[in-house]
Structure 1
Amino acid sequence: MEPQKILFTATPGKTLGEIIDSLAHDNLFILCDTHTQAMSLPLLSGELPITHVISIEAGDTHKTLEALAHVWDELSRHGASRKSLLVNLGGGMVTDLGGFAAACFKRGIRFVNLPTTLLGAVDAAVGGKTGINFNGLKNEIGAFRPADAVIISTRFFTTLPHEELLSGYAEMLKHALIDSADSYRALLDFDLSTPDWERLLQLLEESVQVKQRIVAQDPCEKGIRKALNLGHTVGHAFESLSHRRGKPIPHGYAVAWGLVCELLLSHHYLQFPSDTITQLADYIYRHYGAYPITCKDYETLYELMTHDKKNESGHINFTLLQAIGQPVIDQHADKEEIFVAFDLYRDLFKL
């Protein structure tokens, strides 16, 4: 599989214009959500040709079959063909849904991702995973289909709420944990309260390269790409529980708390160092707070984990760490040990 073309730039409009010119197309469409149409599209519109703008409601709760059908309907109504080009301008919800729409429309049209959130840049826009939520489960329906190009710029992040920055940063922490101690320390040392955007773009490029290297080896998640799931088995369960409670939490926050739980499992099964867990838990607690759970939630969280797409042969499938930079895929944990990890998480987070 060819490495995905990823461009890091301080001038996203100019770079997007060059990419559009390089991809032969008969019709250009831009997919936004209501937020990015108001906040991000104006940063580009002066440098782009007149185009069709397709807008969907913002928020992960709108990553639905209905929104997907709306995108297909708009493409059809405005004469899109197999040679048309779709630009997905938004966070992970837009790039996930837009990528899936492009992958299926007329059996596949070209698309470019331009993530406007840190989370979208480091996670959803890169690596070729597309999809929508279905039956209350995240990303239940989707396809592997890499974008023809991904353009990443911190220019869009300056207007983000601090919570959005933190959400993306959790995925960067995950990449560092599976990559190297040096990468991990660099992230812990970065000042998120007053970000140096140029330095963040460098850290982001290093983080995305971790994902790129892994995806190039295993594009369809048969082996080592599962390392990227660190923190996500428990994290997705926290996220799904938050939706059931009617108080959705940001994806990156769920991953941050999931990382701590899965490192606790890593300590039990693979002797991952406990002092590193304590250090990370302290960092997560200071920046992300704690997701409140009690022992009454354990069974629900466990049941949610049994629906995870990574599971095989009836086992909940984890990626665990032997040490920073040493992920071990296809690990199974006993229900009792998962509950012990929840106990320890509550102790570390003073719940």
Structure 2
Amino acid sequence: MQQVIITHKIADELTKALVSGNYDKVFTFTDKNTRLHCLPIINSCEATRNAYHITIDASDTNKTLESAVHVWRELSDNGCTRHSCMVNVGGGMVTDLGGFAASCFKRGIDFINVPTTLLAMVDASVGGKTGINFNGLKNEIGVFKDANTVFIDTIFLKTLDHQNILSGYAEMLKHSLISDDKIWARHLLFDFDKLDLKELSLMIADSIELKRRIVTEDPHENGIRKALNLGHTIGHALESLAMQKGKPLLHGYAIAYGLVGELFLSCALLNFPTTKMRQTTRFVLDNYGRPEFSCKDYDKLFSLMLHDKKNTGDMINFTLLSDVGEVRINQTASKELVFEALDFLRES
């Protein structure tokens, strides 16, 4: 299991990790935004200041096989060996793609994740999932591989805009729904207009600990780890549809909308309390607005759900709730009921 270190001294901690690894070469991997805004924060660490830098364009549309090939070529051309290390500095796109590229190169080199977005801190950098988008589908190709270490430093949150804070917070909201009523209620009260980074740091720690407990129990998603997929079946379909339309949707926004749709299914199939579903729906719509899709997109969305990796056979598997904290994995729903959930999401 990878080590997750929450720190306010990222350069010092990263130096210790790289020195103790006794690597022959160090590579850093960023997108253009994090190279500009985040790499300078860790470059007071001599081991990264003198590293070879690999950079790709920003946004999830670049989490592709072509980008992975670019990383492999840069590693190969610049003398990377099995005793080298790559430090991924960025959001989920960077940690996913960087982890995937490192896991495959020379059958696997060490990598360290330094997540710089709220979403990556609580989700993408923890849990050992790596991957790239392929054939119009989210995370279609990838491997389970832990980073050697994940360093969490909230100093990077100061570089984020309001939308990216919200994007990460959607995963924290999901964690609260699979936790308990107290944590869920606390998340519904968070004020984004008066951003309290100290309060947010405590909530980040809680989210990471929840995910670590689940991943430790089920590292390869054979059972309880599927709890973390709440909101993701509908959410990933919405995200893939937006990508295909050339109007990319931030991952967290897609998951927030997916939570609404899947709580609707939870009410219909498992008697999830309607009041709690409507409270969560109101929070999502107030903060994330409404998703942009129409009834003409329903068949395409359903087709995208059929491609979800969690499915068995020709059945769509949902993670649903009978109440806050009461997870029910491997749930199925008829096409008609899924369409009703999309109606609810679109018309609430």
The TM-score by the shorter chain falls in which range? over 0.9
Map 1:9-158; keep pairs closer than 5 Å.
9-49=7-47, 50-158=50-158
Partner of 1:237: 237
SS at match of 1:179: coil
Query: Would the aligned equivalents of 1:8 and 1:201 in 2 still touch at CA under 8 Å?
Result: no
Equivalences, count: 346
SS at match of 1:193: helix
SS at match of 1:143: coil
Query: Would the aligned equivalents of 2:61 and 2:248 in 1 still touch at CA under 8 Å?
Result: no
Map 1:229-268; keep pairs closer than 5 Å.
229-268=229-268
In the TM superposition, what is the alpha-carbon distance from 1:70 to its structure 2 partner? 1.0
SS at match of 1:130: coil
- Aligned partners of 1:204, 1:278: CA distance in 2, in Å? 25
In the TM superposition, what is the alpha-carbon distance from 1:244 to its structure 2 partner? 2.2
In the TM superposition, what is the alpha-carbon distance from 1:345 to its structure 2 partner? 2.0
- Aligned partners of 2:41, 2:117: CA distance in 1, in Å? 14
In the TM superposition, what is the alpha-carbon distance from 1:154 to its structure 2 partner? 1.0
Matched AA of 2:91: G
In the TM superposition, what is the alpha-carbon distance from 1:302 to its structure 2 partner? 0.7
- Aligned partners of 1:168, 1:343: CA distance in 2, in Å? 25
In the TM superposition, what is the alpha-carbon distance from 1:28 to its structure 2 partner? 0.7
Task: Mark the runs of 5 or more structure 2 residues left unpaired by the alignment.
Answer: none
In the TM superposition, what is the alpha-carbon distance from 1:195 to its structure 2 partner? 1.6
Query: Would the aligned equivalents of 1:32 and 1:54 in 2 still touch at CA under 8 Å?
Result: yes
Map 1:228-307; keep pairs closer than 5 Å.
228-307=228-307
Matched AA of 1:14: D
- Aligned partners of 2:225, 2:55: CA distance in 1, in Å? 32
Query: Would the aligned equivalents of 1:153 and 1:201 in 2 still touch at CA under 8 Å?
Result: no
In the TM superposition, what is the alpha-carbon distance from 1:48 to its structure 2 partner? 2.7
In the TM superposition, what is the alpha-carbon distance from 1:186 to its structure 2 partner? 1.7
Query: Would the aligned equivalents of 2:291 and 2:346 in 1 still touch at CA under 8 Å?
Result: no
Task: Mark the runs of 5 or more structure 1 residues left unpaired by the alignment.
Answer: none
- Aligned partners of 1:96, 1:208: CA distance in 2, in Å? 17
- Aligned partners of 1:273, 1:172: CA distance in 2, in Å? 20
Matched AA of 1:27: K
In the TM superposition, what is the alpha-carbon distance from 1:24 to its structure 2 partner? 2.6
- Aligned partners of 1:101, 1:213: CA distance in 2, in Å? 26
Partner of 1:215: 215
Matched AA of 1:155: I
- Aligned partners of 1:298, 1:66: CA distance in 2, in Å? 30
Q: Deviations over 1:207-246 (max 9, x none)?
A: 0111111100111111111110000000011111112222
Matched AA of 1:229: N
Matched AA of 1:275: T
- Aligned partners of 1:177, 1:312: CA distance in 2, in Å? 25
- Aligned partners of 2:317, 2:161: CA distance in 1, in Å? 33
- Aligned partners of 2:116, 2:91: CA distance in 1, in Å? 5
- Aligned partners of 2:165, 2:244: CA distance in 1, in Å? 25
Which is further off, 152-161 or 20-29?
Answer: 20-29
SS at match of 1:113: strand
Among all aligned residue pairs of Structure 1 and Structure 2, give the percentage whose two residues are the same amino acid. Answer: 51
SS at match of 1:129: coil
In the TM superposition, what is the alpha-carbon distance from 1:47 to its structure 2 partner? 2.2
TM-score by length of 1: 0.96
Matched AA of 1:8: I
| TM-align CA RMSD | 1.0
Partner of 2:342: 342
Matched AA of 1:55: T
Matched AA of 1:261: G
